[in-house]
Amino acid sequence: MNLLHFLRREKSGLAFTTLELVKAEEQQGHGVEIRQPDETVLYGGVDKPDVHIIHSQISPRRYHDRIPKFMFCHGEPLSSVGNGVSMKAIVDLAPLCEAFIAMRKEEWSAWNAIKRTYVVPKGIDLQRFTPLDVPAHDPKNPASRLSGDPAVLYCEHWRGQRNPLIPLLAMERVSQVLPNARMHLFNVEDKRMYETFSALIAHAKWHTFVRSLMGPVKDEEVNLLYNRADIVVSGLFPLYARGIEAFGAGKAFIGAGYRDEEYEFRCDFTPESMADAIIKAHEAKGQFNFRAWGERKHDVQETVRQATAIYERYL
């Protein structure tokens, strides 16, 4: 099958997810191409696309070309309304699409109200996110394990309400039960966010358990960073995002938006509930195989198999 994706070239979870989908499609023998909405080709090339796959925008010249179109719903419905443009753009494009494809079943009812929506598992590249042997903590070695038992990592993209406030409040509680627990905050790019959390940590005397407040993390270093930690936490709600990459590295992922009923370490978006989940994940160390969980639930190869099966129904 020839698959033409439309993607805006920007550094975002949406783009990373799309590139992983395309890579897996290519590995499964499909012809692939990525274009920006302005038709600039970013990768690959297909003579005649069988389907167009929209990741938020598509070139207007494709609107009525009779090639089946599918919209991948990357964003969370409430955020899509809240940012003032995404939901309107999605609704505008809905009549052109055969169907929507969501990656979180909790969102199905919202997207399905707009267009027939299928749910596929949210996959990650398990060849990219893998367990690594990491040396014991050594303050002089930036590639060694992070300090703490457990070492809890937050490294999401900080912006607006996407910040580590709830995880920090949870860790305050965790540190009362597990005095050796330490938290490491990475990937803060925004100066005001940095200043806010520096002030907050100092004022609340959280130095006792916060050991890092670090700037941007290079994409190629993210897997190593996961491997340096024991537990990866998310401040997102009601969604989760790229944090599930931690499963690829064999690490626990704690996020209030992660609602899989089989997952033992679910939590609500409260400090108390998140603290309980962190402690539970720490106690399960060595007993629960997080890598195997990732392989069963979040393999991008399976995402692609299910998505292409959906496309085939419309050809």
Partner 1 sequence: MSHDISLLRPCDEVNHHLSTAYASIDDLRSQLGQAKPVSEAYAKKMLHAVPIAEVVDRSEFILERCKGRTVLDVGASGPMHDRIVAVAAKTYGWDREDGEGVTGIDLDNQDLHLPFYQGIELIVCGEVIEHLSNPGQFLRRLRTRYQGVPVIITVPNAFAEAGRAQLARGTEVVNRDHCAWYSWKTLSVLLERAGYSIAEFCWYNGRPLFAEGLIVVTGG
Q: Which of 26, 106, 260, 302 binds partner 1 (CB under 8 A)?
A: 26
11/159 with CB nearer partner 1: 11
Q: Name the minimum Å distance from CB 110 to partner 1.
A: 22
Cα–Cα dist 19/129, whole Å: 14
> Residue 11: is it exposed, middle or buried by C-beta count within 10 angstroms (0-12/13-18/19+)?
exposed
256 binds partner 1 (CB under 8 A): no
Quick one: tokens of 13? 């979870």
Q: Is 64 exposed, middle or buried (0-12, 13-18, 19+ CB in 10 A)?
A: exposed
Shortest separation between residue 37's beta carbon and partner 1, angstroms: 8
Of 16 and 253, CB closest to partner 1? 16
Segment contacting partner 1 by CB under 8 A, of 17-25, 143-151, 196-204, 222-230: 17-25
Token pair, residue 281, equals 């994940």
Return the residue of 6, 16, 129, 253 that touches partner 1, per CB under 8 A: 16
User: Are 122 and 297 a contacting pair, CB within 8 Å?
Assistant: no
Parallel/antiparallel/unpaired status of strands 31-35 and 41-44: antiparallel
One-letter identity of residue 9: R
Count of residues interacting with partner 1 (CB under 8 A)? 29
Q: Which amino acid is at 153?
A: L
Strand partners, 183: 152, 210
Q: CA 136, CA 3: separation in Å to the nearest integer?
A: 45
Contact between residue 190 and residue 157 where contact means Cβ atoms under 8 Å apart: no
Q: CB nearer to partner 1: give 49 or 123.
A: 49
Cα–Cα–Cα angle for 290, 291, 294, rounded to 5 degrees: 90
84 binds partner 1 (CB under 8 A): no
Q: Where does this chain touch partner 1 (CB under 8 A) — which range of 14-22, 165-173, 271-279, 292-300?
A: 14-22
Determine, following the binding rule CB under 8 A, whether residue 315 of this chain makes contact with partner 1: no
List the beta bridge partners of residue 102.
73, 119
Q: Which of 10, 133, 261, 262 binds partner 1 (CB under 8 A)?
A: 10
Q: Which stretch binds partner 1 (CB under 8 A): 34-42, 241-249, 285-293, 302-310?
A: 34-42
Contact 99, 70 (CB under 8 A): yes
Site string for partner 1, 60-79 (x = CB under 8 A): xxx--x--------------
The only residue of 69, 197, 220, 263 in contact with partner 1, by rule CB under 8 A: 220
Q: Does 92 bind partner 1 (CB under 8 A)?
A: yes
> Does residue 49 belong to the site contacting partner 1 (CB under 8 A)?
yes
The phi, psi pair for 221, rounded to 5°, reads -105, 0
Q: Which residues bind partner 1 (CB under 8 A)?
A: 9-12, 15-16, 19, 22-23, 26, 34-35, 39-45, 48-49, 57, 60-62, 65, 92, 219-220
